[in-house]
Structure 1
Amino acid sequence: MKKILVIKLGALGDFLQALGPFKAIRDHYKNDHVTLLTTPAFKEIAEDSGYFNAVMAFPRLKGRQIFKLLKRIFFLKSENFEVIYDLQTSSHTSRYFYYLRLMGWRGEFSGIAYGCTYPHKNKHRDLQHTLERQKEQLNDAGLFDVPFPDLSFLRKKKASDEVLDVIHSQRPFVILVPGGAPTRLDKRWPLQGWLEILKRLQAQRITTVIIGGGGEKNLNDAFKPGQPFLINLIGKTNFVDLAHLGAHALCALGNDTGPMHLLALSGCPSTVLFNLNASNPDLCGPKGKKVCYLCEKDLSRLEVDHVWKNLLEHKTEVLKKDFKG
C-alpha cells in the first residue's frame, strides 16, 4: 500500500475548487493511503468528503518561522510518503520539496518546484483559472480523469434548525452575501447598494436570507431582525448549512468571497460582484451551473439598477416568473 500526501491550504474558494482534483487522486489510489495536509479551517470538510484516509491540519506558517517549517518537514519525512501532490503550488509549499530532498527523501512530487518529478509544464499557468490549472497539473502527473467539484456529501449531513426552518417554509428565498474578508474591504460593494436590493426584494415579497461571518457587526446592525421578508443568519451558518441553502435558493448575490464559491458549487444560480483592481474572475471566479460576474474597477461605481436587472434577466425561469418589478 502506497502512502500519498496531498497539500492544499488556501482560502475557502481555493479549497472548494480542489475537490475535483481530490477525487481524481482518491480514484487513482483506491487501495492506497491518502493523507491531506491542510489548515484547521478545512479539516472537517475534508474528512466529510470521504476522499482521504487521514487529514493533518496545521496552522499556516507566517513570515520566517524557519524552525517551525523545519519541524514540519522532519515530520513529513518521517511519514515516508511515496508521492506528494502539491495543489497549493506556492513558493512556501515548493520549499517542502527542496527541504525533503536535502533530507534524503526520494519520493515523487507533483507541483511547480524546480526539479520535481511531475512539474506542471505550462509556462502560462498563472493565467489559467484555478480549475483548469489544477486539472492540467494532474494531467502532467498522469491523472487524466479530473471531475468538477461535487458538494453533494455536505448535503448528506443535517443542517441547523434555523436553516431547515427556511427551507421547510416553502417560501422562495434569495441569498445575499454582502460581507467578505475583513482585510479586503475593497472587494465589497457599498452597503447602501445591498440595502436597496433588500428593499426591492421586500417590495416583491421575496424572502431574503443574509449570510456572513460572525464578526461583521456593521452588517448585523444594518440587517436587523424583525424586518419583513428578512432572515438574518450572519454568524449562524457553517459549510453544511450553506450547501443546503444553496440547493434550495432561487439565487444568490454576493461579493467575491468564499461562501459564494460554496453556493455556486451547490447549484445555486449566482451573481458575484468583482472589483477588477482586486481580483480577476477569469482566474479565480466561482464556478457552477449558473454563475455570472458583474465587474467594475471600483465597486462603488456599480449601479443598483444594473445589479437588479441582472437578478431579473439573467437568472432562472423561476426568478423571471416571480420578479415583476
Structure 2
Amino acid sequence: MDDRTALAERFETDRSHLKAVAYRMLGSAAEADDALQESWLRASQADLSEVRNLTGWLTTVVGRVCLNMLRSRRTRREDPIDAYDRTSGPGEGDDPEQEAVLADSVGLALLVVLDTLAPAERLAFVLHDMFAVPFDEIGTLLDRSADSARQLASRARRRVKGGGAAPVADLARRRRVVEAFLAASRGGDFDALVALLHPDVVLRADRSVVPTPEPVVVRGAHTVAQGAMAATGRALFTGIALVDGSVALAMAPLGRLRLVLGFTLVDGLITEIDVVADPDRIRGLDIAVLED
C-alpha cells in the first residue's frame, strides 16, 4: 500500500473526528465541510515521508485550514433575524434542522463563546481542551512557543467558564424555568408558555429585533406567548447560556450570536423579558457556558 492510498483510507476513517474539529472551530456544518475539502487537497499534495501519526497530522492540517478561514472573516453576517426560520434556514442550501441538532450536541452557548475568541485562542482551546493536541504542536501551527499556546488556551478557558455567576441554587431554579420556556417555544405549546408567564409580564425588545423605529414593549401573558409561538423557527437556533452571570437564552445561527433573551423571575414566574439584538449591546454582554 502506498502513502497516498494509506492517507485516503485514514482520511475517510477519521472523517467524523476531523469534521468535529472543524465544526468546533467554525460553528457551521457547511463551513466545516468546506474546511475538510480544502484539508484533503492540501494533505494529498504534502510530503508524508516524515509523518508517523496520520490522524494527529490530519488534525493539525484541518486546524490550520480553519485558522485561516477564521482569520479571513472580516465581518459578521448581517442577515435579518427573520431569515432564520424553518423554511429558509441559516443559509442557502443548509439544513436548519440538522444545523440545530448539531449545535445542541456540542452546546450552543459554547459555540457562542468560541465565536468571541480570537482565532489563535479558539484554535488553542479547541485543539488542546477538546482534542488533546499537545501545546508544542499547537505552538508550531501558530508560529509561537508551547508556553504561548498554553496561555492562549488558558485565556479562552476563562472566557468559556465566565465569572460572577449567581449562587448555584438560584441558577438551578432559573435554569428550570428558562429551559421550560425554550422547550415550549420550540414545541409550539401555547398553554405551557402562558403557565410560565406572570399575567402582567412585560417584554421589551430593542429596535434591532424586528427592526422597528422604536423599541417594542409587549404586555400580558397571552400576548407575549403569541409572540413566542411566532418565533419557533428562531428557537431552533437558541440555547441556554450564562449572560452577565444570569441564566438567559442566546440565539446563534451558525454559532454567531444574534439575539439574547434575559429573564426576570418572581416566585417562579417570568415577570420581564428583555430581548437584545443591537450589535453594540450584544458585544457588551458577558457570555459563558452554564455548567451542568
Determine which structure has the larger helix proportion and give its number. Answer: 2
